Amino acid sequence: MIQAGVIGVGQTKYDAKRRDVSMAGLVREAIDNAMLAANLEWDAIDAVILGKAPDMFEGVIMPELYLADAIGAVGKPVLRVHTAGSVGGSTAVIAASHVCSGQFKTVLTVAFEKQSESNATWALSPRYPYSPHINAGAGGYFAPFIREYIRRYEAPEHIGWKVAAKDRQNALKNPLAHLHIPGIDEKMVSDTPMLWEPLRYLESCPSSDGACAMIITAQDQVGSRNVAWIKGMAVRSEGTLSAGRDEVNPQAGIDCAKDIYNQAGIQNPFNEIDCAEIYVPFSWYEPMWLENLGFCDLGEGWKLTDKDATAIDGELPFNMSGGVLSSNPIGASGMIRFGEAALQVMGLAEDHQVEDAKVAMGHAYGGAAQFFAMWIVSSSLD
């Protein structure tokens, strides 16, 4: 198979309201940064793959058409991807698949959300026909799964506060992060109001404007560029309302992780992966995904969090950039995970760089925790 690698990652500054730019300006900011990082001219781009979450978040239907000029897609193949919150990840996988197919040498991929143009929490909570109107945003949907995780494994409540504080402390090292909360600690998190029990305000992700772009190219196009080689990538999904589904530990997540570890030749992910950007929009998803992704046994995830294994200087750093808990332009959030993983193995993560990071994982999930996308990137091709 053709080997593909990331040669440029570009991001915007993430913020609650980027009123200084239009949707097109926002997307172009990330793309320009990616093109500069890759040191490429526009004629090198063979196709553009764009991802974002529901169009109603901005009220612009099929925005990839309106954005054709901004994304440099005029006269080129363009494909739109939408897999809810995991979309940034699955967009990256689909873009890389275009390169691996041999039909495209170099592909630009971009994902974005400009959430200030509507209200995402309530866009996610419409009144469904013939049902009581009690659904209250993504937090209200995931909170019962989290409560069941806590009950199943007798996890203490400070674990959630700890993840929330740790990711925001990491965000202080990332100038692009939306939330910079000086002095953030567990106490500050635990003092914030309850939103959806057991989730408090600071255990929840913000609503952000932002975009992330990557340039993915084939091995023979790389030249002397710094590359994050894609060693394994996969997407999986499962039925939301399927009998036998375990929402706390979805089978699709287990299968997706196994697939990328096999592709990358990873036997023991905890030991062989140097750091990971994992989609944690609500604090408790860190221990839940530690288990789901096979980094530890069931019920052991919260213990790894508790002993600081996921701290930036821990055994398996998670979300060095500050993660989804610090910046959440939904459509872009998955691609930010994939792009930040690439930056780590390229040695370009600046103040939030993990020393000697050679192998990193990017992860995204979405919908009712039924869509998954993941990849493993490495500093070396071998």
Chain residues in the site for other proteins (CB under 8 A): 19, 59, 122, 125, 129-136, 140, 143-145, 147-148, 151, 193-199, 238-246
- Per the rule left: phi > 0, alpha: psi between -120 and 50, beta: everything else, 62 is left
Shortest Cβ distance from residue 364 to other proteins (Å)? Answer: 22
Shortest Cβ distance from residue 118 to other proteins (Å)? Answer: 8
Shortest Cβ distance from residue 132 to other proteins (Å)? Answer: 5
Asked if residues 382 and 231 have their Cβ atoms less than 8 Å apart, the reply is: no
Shortest Cβ distance from residue 141 to other proteins (Å)? Answer: 8
Number of C-beta neighbours around residue 314 at 10 A: 16
**Beta carbon nearer to other proteins, 65 or 194:** 194
**Beta carbon nearer to other proteins, 58 or 340:** 58
Alpha carbons 280 and 212: distance in angstroms, whole number: 17
The strand order across the sheet containing 209-218 reads: 78-81, 47-51, 106-114, 209-218, 4-11, 228-237, 371-378, 359-366, 275-277
**Beta carbon nearer to other proteins, 196 or 295:** 196
Buried/exposed code over 59-69 (b: 16+ C-beta within 10 A; e: otherwise): ebeebbeebbe
**Beta carbon nearer to other proteins, 112 or 196:** 196
Shortest Cβ distance from residue 113 to other proteins (Å)? Answer: 17
**Beta carbon nearer to other proteins, 107 or 146:** 146
Residue type at 25? G
Asked if residues 335 and 86 have their Cβ atoms less than 8 Å apart, the reply is: no
Shortest Cβ distance from residue 179 to other proteins (Å)? Answer: 19
**Beta carbon nearer to other proteins, 238 or 340:** 238
